[in-house]
Amino acid sequence: MSSLSELEHRVHTCTLCKIGDLKEVVKHYPIHSFGNPHGKELLVVGLNPSTREYEDNYVSSSKDPEKRHDSQMNYFQHGYYGFFTKLEKFFQGEAKTALKWVNTPWEKVGFTDLTKCPTRNEKGQWTQIKTSQKRLIINNCQQYLVEQIDQIKPKAILAYGADACRCFYPGYKQDDAFTTMKKKPVILVPQRQGGYPIQIIQIIQHQIAETLLE
């Protein structure tokens, strides 16, 4: 008997993007979440997994969906991709006090992505894919995210990156991200190539704490 929930099974066996020209950019298995998101008050929603998760063996590439799921749920119990280490600065300070984590923020913070499969074409990852392909992939995955949020029922969501922000607020503009950062109960955080000034990090920490403590 499978240990996967009905939603988890649908995500792990999804083939919606394995047809047409999408199959040229979606070549890896879906990733339901990084770590166990259930019971977490804060859920981070990113854009999509990196192909490096599979290429560098951070997650299992087994044909068995249960084995893949187990490796994803236990993701933060072993060495993990540096992207997540960079996110951890948002969960220090006021946010740490509100979250009450001890050893790692991922004890109290869940993570999933707007789109579930890593994407890559011959030129690179997401930014190099055609806009029409991006729209199809997002449309194929969006219902999974809706159902995940409905099941997890987080107290707050941190939307990380412009595409994730637009998922929750279609009118979102990255230029005014920090003046419209908080859209209860969603905290909007754009990605910045050069990193974040300490003042911005502290604002995000405060927004997390304020939202969780309300």
Of the candidates 111, 100, 125, the residue with the CA atom closest to the CA atom of residue 50: 125
Lowest mean pLDDT of 39-53, 68-82, 182-196, name the range. Answer: 182-196
Structural domains of the chain ordered from first start: 6-213 (3.40.470.10)
Helix (H), strand (E) at residue 106:
none
pTM: 0.92
**179 pLDDT more than 70:** no
3-state SS, residue 3: coil
Task: Give the pLDDT confidence of 139-174 residue by residue, as tens digits.
Answer: 999 999 999 999 999 999 999 988 898 888 888 876
Distance between terminal CA atoms of the chain?
41
Mean pLDDT of the chain: 89
